[in-house]
Amino acid sequence: MTKSINITLKVWRQKGSHVNGGFETYPVTDISTDMSFLEMIDVVNEQLTLEGKDPIAFDHDCREGICGMCGAVINGRAHGPEKGTTLCQLHMRHFSNGDTIVIEPWRAKAFPIVKDLVVNRSAFDQIILAGGYISVNTGGAPDANSIPIAQEIAELAMDAAACIGCGACVAACPNASAMLFTGAKISQLALLPQGKPEAASRALAMVRKMDALCFGNCSNERECEAECPKEISISNIARLNREFIKAGLVSSVR
């Protein structure tokens, strides 16, 4: 049943990447518990706009948990307290009247802050550009079932492909590592026959790019897996390591 709560927000405000930011406090009243977290910020922004203040910048788009645009650290947790949930799918019914909610952007060297809660995640795009694709000529469509793929493999590839590239794994990791993201992308392709021809060059190029972009390394904290809204398994990181070692030791690719 719908009810309303009053909360206090402590929001990270920062005008741009080259100026210092800080927390601002906003008392917020009469928030319906049926609202999504982002709708709550919409309401705050409407008020700020009418008061002649600068609204809180935040990224968002589909608002149904499938696009990967939204995300912020809520009370120290990427995408907030609910498991397997993007910020847009977090609802205010998970908070109580009188709560203080701290909202921060993803913090990582590779993700410079654009404004307030908006960070530049183009480092992820660069990792993909380094090899997160297959270069086949699409040509004519092949007949269905011409390349049989076992159900189990298809499921594993699909689970890895569920990654929406939101960056929560990086934000949650004490090393700001992008291993879960890169592992998911490498796995998705390495598991399937279409991805195999380029598997070695892909693994080497994507891992090198990831390192070059200042993402940290994996030290098995498993924070990424715990916070991933798509519940991507860290077994994908293990697969990344295997693909990387295989490529480095036995392939002819350098």
Partner 1 sequence: MVRNLVTGEIESHGADAVVLCTGGYANVFYLSTNAMASNVSATYRAYKKGAFFANPCYTQIHPTCIPVHGTYQSKLTLMSESLRNDGRVWVPKTPGDKRPPDQIPEPERDYYLEEKYPSFGNLVPRDVASRNAKAQCDMGKGVGETGFAVYLDFADAIQRDGKEVIRQKYGNLFQMYEKITASNPYETPMMIYPASHYVMGGLWVDYNLMSTLDGLFVMGEANFSDHGANRLGASALMQGLADGYFIIPYTIGGYLSGTGRPEITTDHPAFKEAVHYVTERTRKLLSINGKRTVDDFHRELGHILWEYCGMSRNDEGLLKARKMIQELREEFWNNAVVPGSSQDFNQSLERAGRVADFLEFAELLVMDAFERKESCGGHFNEAYQTQEHEALRDDENFCHVAAWEYKGDDTDPELHKEPLVFENVELTQRSYK
The residues that touch partner 1, with contacts defined as CB under 8 A, are 2, 15-16, 32, 34-36, 38-39, 42-43, 46, 49-50, 52-55, 57, 60-65, 67, 82, 85, 89, 91, 93, 114-115, 118, 120, 138
Least separation in angstroms between CB 90 and partner 1: 9
Least separation in angstroms between CB 188 and partner 1: 18
Least separation in angstroms between CB 130 and partner 1: 23
| Structural element, H or E, at residue 57 | none
Instruction: Pick the closer one to partner 1 by CB: 30 or 148.
Output: 30
Instruction: Pick the closer one to partner 1 by CB: 146 or 252.
Output: 146
Contact present, 86 and 61 (Cβ < 8 Å): no
Strand-pairing partners, residue 11, are 24, 103
81-104 burial, b if ≥16 CB within 10 A, otherwise e?
ebeebbbbbbbbeebeeeeebebb
Instruction: Pick the closer one to partner 1 by CB: 31 or 172.
Output: 31
Distance of CA 15 to the CA centre of its chain: 23
| Structural element, H or E, at residue 12 | strand 4-13
DSSP codes of every residue in 199-211: HHHHHHHHHHHHH
Least separation in angstroms between CB 49 and partner 1: 5
Instruction: Pick the closer one to partner 1 by CB: 86 or 177.
Output: 86
